A = this chain, B = another copy of it.
Amino acid sequence: MADELRHVCSTTTANCAVCRSAGVAAWCVLSPAELGVLNQAKVTRNYEPGAVLYDAGAPCKGLFCVSSGTLLVERSAQGGEGRRVRLVEQGDILGWADFFRNMAHRHRAVCQTSAIVCTIPSQAVRGLLLHNPLLALKFLSLAAQDLERSERSDLEQTYFPARRRLALALASLKNNHGEGSASGDIVITLPISRRDLADLIAVRPETLSRVIRELEADGVATFSGRTVQITDLDRLLDEIEPGEASAA
């Protein structure tokens, strides 16, 4: 297993004390000494696009903390192809749910870009958790956020049409993958394929394709390969909240 991965990942070093993710992730409550323990226990690896961080069915050996890059988490049915559930970015912590249930992974995490991810072995996590109760509280808050995200996505998929869900996805993508262009528009560089994007908003690729054409026809955004130009942000926001009148 480790052999298979060797060609797509390599070990590197990193320092939690200066890692940008340490502030974003739950580790901010740790004392300098505890951060030292974390730093020593963790294993930092470099992954190439397409590398699999972990697969469904694999034993859960610890927590993952994304130092950089974008990963896609799929819910796979017995190792086969499954549904793409969510994107994971810098500072996010992966695998906690399986870890705290002492179960094998039920998801698969695949790198969409080259990525640097730290693995914190189970024992180290447990040690820190027992040593510093504040860390546990932080993790609980994190868990609550994940649950909230899942529940909201559930509601959105039940009640919102595909077009609105795409608008929602674009608005979200904008945060981590968008930047202002020369013309003042926002330009998003999608970290995932169109097929995966379709899966994320729970539609078939054919449907996504059609909805994209609709948005283009209505002057909301322009799509070209993995580049999306938001030509009218107000209109995009209107797509998300049809009830609201846009204040000029």
Contact between A97 and B144, CB atoms less than 8 A apart: yes
Given contacts A157-B154, A202-B158, whether A144 and B75 have CB atoms under 8 Å apart is: no
Report A212 CB to chain B, min CB distance, Å: 20
Interface residues of A in 181-206 (CB under 8 A from B): 202
Copies of this subunit: 2
Contact with A130, one of B96, B133, B151, B202 (Cβ below 8 angstroms): B133
Contact between B101 and A151, CB atoms less than 8 A apart: no
CA distance A163 to B101 in the complex (A): 31
Contact between A144 and B83, CB atoms less than 8 A apart: no
Given contacts A83-B158, A85-B151, A150-B154, whether A136 and B140 have CB atoms under 8 Å apart is: yes
Interface residues of A in 77-115 (CB under 8 A from B): 83, 85, 96-98, 100-102, 106
* A141 CB-CB contact with B under 8 Å: yes
* A5 CB-CB contact with B under 8 Å: no
Interface residues of A in 115-140 (CB under 8 A from B): 126, 129-131, 133-134, 136-137, 139-140
Kindly name the residue among A130, A134, A141, A144 whose own CB sees the greatest number of chain B CB atoms within 10 A. A144
Given contacts A75-B155, A151-B75, whether A144 and B143 have CB atoms under 8 Å apart is: yes
